[in-house]
Structure 1
Amino acid sequence: VYSETHSPTTNDLGLFSLEVGNGTPGTGTFAAIDWSAGPYFLEVGMDPAGGSSYTSVGAQQLLSVPYALHAKTAEMADDGDWVLSGDTVHSNGRRVGIGTTTPSQDLDVEGTFQLKDGTQADKKILTSDAEGNASWQELGAESLFGAGNLPPAYGNDISCLSTAGSLSLASSPRSVAVSGNYAYVVDFFSDDLKVIDISDPAAPVLAGSVGIGPLPFSVAVSGNYAYVVDINSDDLKVVNISIPGNPVISGSLGVGGSPVSVAISGNYAYVVDTDSKDLKVIDISNPASPTQSGGLGIGFFPSSVAVSGNYAYVVDLNSEDLKVIDITNPAAPALAGSLGLGANPRSVAVSGSYAYVVDDVSEDLKVIDISDPASPTLSGSLGIGPLPFAVAVSGTHAYVVDQLWDDLEVIDISNPAAPTLASSLSIGTEPIAVAVSGNYAYIVDTGTDDLRVIELFCPAEQQQVIYDPATGSFGSAPQIWQTSGDSVYVADQRVGIGTTAPSAQLDVRDASASELRLSLSSTHWSKLRFSSTEGLRIEAKNEGVEFRPMLLIGSEVKFYSGLGSTPERMRLASNGFLGIGTNSPANRLDVEGGLAVGASYSGTNPAPTNGVIIEGNVGIGTSSPANRLDVEGGMAVGASYSGSSPAPANGAIVQGSVGIGTTAPEYTLHISNGANTGSGSFGRGLKITDVTPRIYFEESDAAVNEKLMFLEKIEDGISFSSVIDNATLFRNQHILFVKGSGSVGVGTKAPTAKLSVNGTANNSTGSWGVFSDARIKTVQREFTDGLSVIDRMRPVVFTYNADAPFQAVGEQVGIIAQELEELAPYMVSTTEHGDIHDLREVNNQAYVFLLINAVKELKAENDRLKTDNVVQQEQLEANTRALEELKALVGAYAGR
């Protein structure tokens, strides 16, 4: 019939207790059990390992169930019409009568009744919201005429944006929610929920508070309950706020390691947790005993959740995206879609078909189209500041608080593709959360430790309410004339004088001449007159002296100024020519006399006779000059060039010298320190910007193929090459190459040492030297290699192939570095070139010392041989003497 699971923890004695009906449902619904259809049995299964492989430990009959028992002799027995579930008793299709035994409605009260829900007060009426929830409300215009029948109280005039009031909270407020006349603030350090009366926005006051836990982090409000998540006690607390002055905790539920955001929709709370990395769906239909219905793993660091309709919207700081989660089945929420957002999405709000996300790394507000939950798309965005932290949406505006700029930014989102900043207001030192209700924003600030109430828009103009007796409906009367202080005005309407059908906002009409006059007296006036004879005349008169600043006759405009007989000063002819000082212009602009252009020139500097002085920029062939002189096309300067030699397209040819930063150029191009043509940090000079910038040097009297050489910036260095006359083929490329690292190549653009030479390097009278001073050396050991290494070296004749760092022609004599590395590894090092990451190089300096040691070895051997030779010579001489003596003896014996 019904099953549920529990995960209990024993006490010190190894005991635990469970309440049947408050576990995690498995099959069936506890509230739907028909206890009258018993008997029922309770079977208990356990898995000591903490898993879900349950083993039955026994079953027994339930002798007492949540169903009214009665004695057999009772006069009246419960017929099962009423069902008890927890602290709720209900019946479907039955009636309740109070003061009557025959109720005619579901609830029939005959007599008086009293409703106390915390909203009761003198001269209030009982009304309901769209869901039928009753409450006491002020007797106001909307309660009399109905919602939607009155003009809006506030327009879109944001000029009234200002701080209306504030309340010091003296701790560290973290989150705010607003419902009715109260704001609800959770505080990090005072560890409580504060209920603040905001019925007077200019003077908010603390109504009540309740201790929550060590680190309350986020709050949401629905009906008579506030819902708070705490990142230290790791739970969701349900707080009864029906009496604002005395809020009390109704229930709680452990939800994970670090819940950071909560949203409410219907009978469910939605909590995101950065430790368990999931979204939890909490059933709050019984505020005293919230239970988890389902959950969904969503990412490493979810930071904010909002709910609208059948979907929850979560932004994640780690996966850097917005996830859209289908919550149609609260027990099994599922990922519907997602959209990558950027580096650090911090907060999300939802309104209609759009989600609004602030990101404190990309520093913007993103507007996301969620009309297709499976495929959200970015509609628009707006850069808003260095550290936007929270966002709220109301109507056609989004409200963002920025912790670095310390302000509230009001953003017009009426066009989701192009949100714009409507206004901003400095509000504190570290605003952290914002909520909007009516015409006010409520902001908590952890720097100033207060709640600030911000007035948003200016009140709308007063209007009349009309009643239609035919339909019985109310509406706003058309308000043609508006009043504002001592002013009366009309917008988007027409006024006719002399006509009942005005064709303009102000239409003054007469058959022969119409005149509009503004006057101070009968002798001090100005007038606008239109007649069939003159056309339009603008005229002014002061104490009998008339002057005519402008007179239009036919298709020409004439300007007059002066006293008495006012002469004509300027004429715009019918052909579009303008004459100043002449009434017969023959050109687009004809000026009789000098012309000065510019604020510093006009009115102060006389121009040359019939000449021009210009302070600003002049364009020839362009309508938007950005310099003193902008020429679109070629330009030739010099008597021999102008009018005879065509300049290159959009280029210039100059016959003489050109000076940059100097008024006295000494060369064809002379750059002096009078102007900074380089970047500010490197001083003045010549800068050439191109894909491969080059500077060419041409010798005019050299042989055809010896004229040109150039410097070019390629890859990470500067190359010096020679080319043939037409500058299209290289004669010798990379004669000298200097890398940005400081390495120099001769005959190669890939030096692998401070100096790499591709070819032969000669020095005649000098020599290569190295520092060898004893004061700069620390001897590590004696170098003893010599003849034995040289004897095993294998010199070869070779040519370099295509993988070599440079091009070399002809056969070379040398050794193979890998073979030398086996004999003398200290002579071989590696570098990187192209695809070869361990290109071997040989330290030829070691050859000298190998040869020195080899010579020493040979000398020692020679000295030894010399010594042996002396000994052998002495022995030979001794043997010779002995032989001579022997021969003498033999001769003596023979003579006898």
Structure 2
Amino acid sequence: MRRKMMGYMMAGLVSAGLAGAAWAADVPPQMTYQGRLKESGSLVTGPRSVEIWLCNLQTGGIDGTDCFSVSGPQGVSVQNGLFRSTYTLHSSVNLGTPPWYLEVRVGGTPLSPRETLTTVPYAFLASSATGITGDSLSIGVSTFVVKEGKVGIGTTSPVTGLHLHGDVGGSGDMTATRSGPNGWDSPVFSAQKSRGSKSAPTAVQNGDVLGIFNASGYDGTGYLQGGQVQFVVDGAPGANDMPGAIVFRTVPDNSITVTDRMIINNAGNVGIGLTNPTYQLQLSLDSAAKPTSNTWTIASDRRVKKDIELFTDGLEVVKKINPIRYRLNGKAGLPEGAEGISVVAQDVEDAIPYAISTYKAKLEPSDAQETDIYNFNSSPLTFVLINAVKELKAENEALKSRVLKLEGESR
């Protein structure tokens, strides 16, 4: 008995509609075939066993090698010749390597001719976007380009992984919004760095740059860098340990090279003009100014103090302090040649121990270990001098009293 069938595909329309309604969702893994079945020229009515196959050849081929069952035998009800079968893709069917042909078997008998799969069934590829040709997509008046692994928005020539461009206010900008019930629900911009490869990452090392933010300006012929912020590994990383620093860099006038200006290291110390601050705030030069005062203001309320006792150091301590002039030799990261007037900490340590302390630093960059470096805080000397003046005042009053007494006796 010769059987003929004329069919057409509808599942692609259904799948495409679902994918359009839920753009980010997975493509539904099913298609529906509807056809009209005739036997000996008459429309069929009644139950039939229908099986859908996909073949990579228009004719012939071997089951399991060239042709694959995608529905299995299905009992369907045929009404006036019309029937419908729903099927899924076989794991061996790769729609990315066309052409593919659909074959219907009724009661195990193949019907001919096989029908070529057309555009709609290939909507399954929407989940992977394989097989797309061309390098740009325009949406309205906007341009979206994927070229050589780079994404351009507003430009057809992206030069980085993501390149935004705009000619009017607001275009070329990036905005991130996030809503949530907690104070920490906010947009996050992340930069991640590893050594090795994507499939086999290895640990970063001290000094590795984790991320860079650049800002450039057009000089008439090209874009030149004007400033930069770097995020750097600042110490030896380990398991659950990633010491980091933030480096701020600018380009000086008449130059195109960025220069380190300020750093916040892993200890939270801020260095301006130097890269290895050992204090919470450290300057490379004696270059800081206030409009009306040369001193720092500190809390002095009695209510915030305890263990209060008199401080009596005065004239005898002053007599043990020998001021010096000097120039720095460049060790311990200090600026070589800088001139100053102060004391040698080791010389006055016994006389004013409360004005001397130490910090850790390397004398030479090549030193294997840090060493204790002495420093000097002259603030206590203000109160030593106050006591010294009081002592001198008392001595002066005593001398005046003696002079007056001697003058009275001589009359």
How many residues align? The count is 284
* Per-residue deviation, 1:819: 0.9
Cα distance 1:780–1:654, how it changes in 2: closer, same or farther (>3 A)?
closer
Q: Would you say 1:748 and 2:291 are equivalent positions? A: no
Which residue type is aligned with residue 382 of structure 2? V
In the alignment, the residues of structure 2 paired with residue 675 and residue 811 of structure 1 have an alpha-carbon distance, to the nearest angstrom, of 56
| Contact 1:620–1:631 under 8 Å retained in 2 | no
Which secondary structure state, in structure 2, belongs to the residue aligned with residue 823 of structure 1? coil
Aligned to 1:855: 389
| Match for residue 656 of structure 1 among 149, 154, 166 | 166
Match of 1:684 among 187, 192, 205: 187
Deviations 1:340-376 (A, max 9, x none): xxxxxxxxxxxxxxxxxxxxxxxxxxxxxxxxxxxxx
Counterpart in the other structure of 1:633: 149
Q: Tell me the distance in 2 between the aligned counterparts of 1:745 and 1:736.
A: 6
CA contact (8 A) 1:619 1:631 kept: no
Classify 1:567/1:630 alpha carbon distance in 2 versus 1 (closer, same or farther; 3 Å).
farther
Report SS of the residue matched to 1:804. helix
SS in 2 for 1:686: coil
Displacement of 1:596 in angstroms is: 7.7
The alignment status of 1:709 with 2:227, answered yes or no, reads yes
* Residues 1:570 and 2:111 aligned together: no
Partners of 1:747 and 1:806 within 8 A in 2: no
Q: Please list the CA deviations of residues 655-681 of structure 1 after superposition, one character each: whole Å capped at 9, or x if unmatched.
A: 2289xxxxxx936332322499xxx97
- Alpha-carbon distance change, 854 to 675 in structure 1, aligned in 2, over 3 angstroms: same
- When you count strand as a share of all residues, which structure comes out higher? 1
Q: Deviations over 1:185-210 (max 9, x none)?
A: xxxxxxxxxxxxxxxxxxxxxxxxxx
For normalisation by structure 2, the TM-score amounts to 0.55
Shift, 1:856, TM fit: 1.2
Of residues 811, 826, 829, the one that matches 2:339 is: 811
Find the counterpart in structure 1 of residue 265 from structure 2.
Answer: 739
Hey, what does 1:870 align to over in structure 2?
404
Name the CA distance, whole Å, in 1 between partners of 2:304 and 2:225.
49
Q: 1:838 to 1:559 in 2, by over 3 A?
A: closer
In the superposition, relative to structure 1, how do residues 546 and 780 fare at CA in structure 2: closer, same or farther (>3 Å)? closer
Provide the secondary structure at the position in 2 that maps to 1:670.
coil
| 1:695 is aligned to 2:216 | no
Report what 2:317 is aligned to: 789
Is the alpha carbon distance of 1:596 and 1:546 closer, same or farther for their aligned partners in structure 2, counting shifts above 3 Å?
closer
TM superposition score normalised by structure 1: 0.27
Distance of 2:100 and 2:272 partners within structure 1: 77
Unaligned runs of 5+ in 2: 1-46, 53-58, 68-72, 86-98, 134-144, 194-207, 235-243, 363-368
Q: Which amino acid aligns with 2:102?
A: F
- 1:863 & 1:771 partners in 2: Cα distance? 35
State how far apart, in whole Å, the 2-side matches of 1:765 and 1:833 are.
34
Matches of 1:763 and 1:802 in 2, distance apart? Answer: 27
Q: Which has the higher contact order (CA 8 A, sep 6+)?
A: 2
Q: 1:754, CA displacement in angstroms?
A: 2.5
Give the match for residue 618 of structure 1.
129
Alignment correspondent of 2:357: 829
Mapped pair 1:758 → 2:284: yes
Larger Rg: 1
Aligned to 1:597: 123
- 2:11 maps to which residue? none
Coordinate RMSD, CA, aligned: 4.8
Residue 770 of structure 1 deviates from its aligned partner by 0.8
State whether residues 164 and 172 of structure 2, in contact with CA within 8 Å, keep that contact through their aligned partners in structure 1.
no
State whether residues 737 and 749 of structure 1, in contact with CA within 8 Å, keep that contact through their aligned partners in structure 2: yes
What is aligned with 1:772? 300
Q: For 1:102-157, what per-residue CA distance to the aligned partner results, in whole angstroms no more than 9, with x for missing partners?
A: xxxxxxxxxxxxxxxxxxxxxxxxxxxxxxxxxxxxxxxxxxxxxxxxxxxxxxxx
**1:753 positional shift:** 2.8
Mapped to 2, the partners of 1:535 and 1:596 lie a distance apart of 23
C-alpha distance 568-652 of structure 1, shift in aligned 2 (>3 A): farther
Q: In structure 2, what is the Cα distance between the partners aligned to 1:527 and 1:862? A: 121
Segments of 4+ moved more than 6 angstroms:
525-528, 536-547, 566-569
Alignment of 1:505-654 (within 5 A): 535=60, 558-559=101-102, 570-571=115-116, 579-580=117-118, 591=119, 597=123, 616-619=127-130, 632-638=148-154, 641-642=155-156, 646-648=157-159, 651-654=161-164
For structure 1, the 5+ residue unaligned runs are: 1-522, 529-533, 550-555, 572-578, 581-590, 599-613, 623-628, 659-664, 879-896
Q: SS where residue 597 of structure 1 aligns?
A: helix
Q: Separation in 2 of the partners of 1:557 and 1:759?
A: 76
Q: Distance in 2 between matches of 1:684 and 1:858?
A: 66
- Asked whether 1:718 is paired with 2:229, we answer no
Name the CA distance, whole Å, in 2 between partners of 1:524 and 1:619. Answer: 37
Contact 1:558 1:568 in 2 (8 A): no
What is the one-letter code of the residue matched to 1:757? Answer: L
Percent pairwise identity: 23
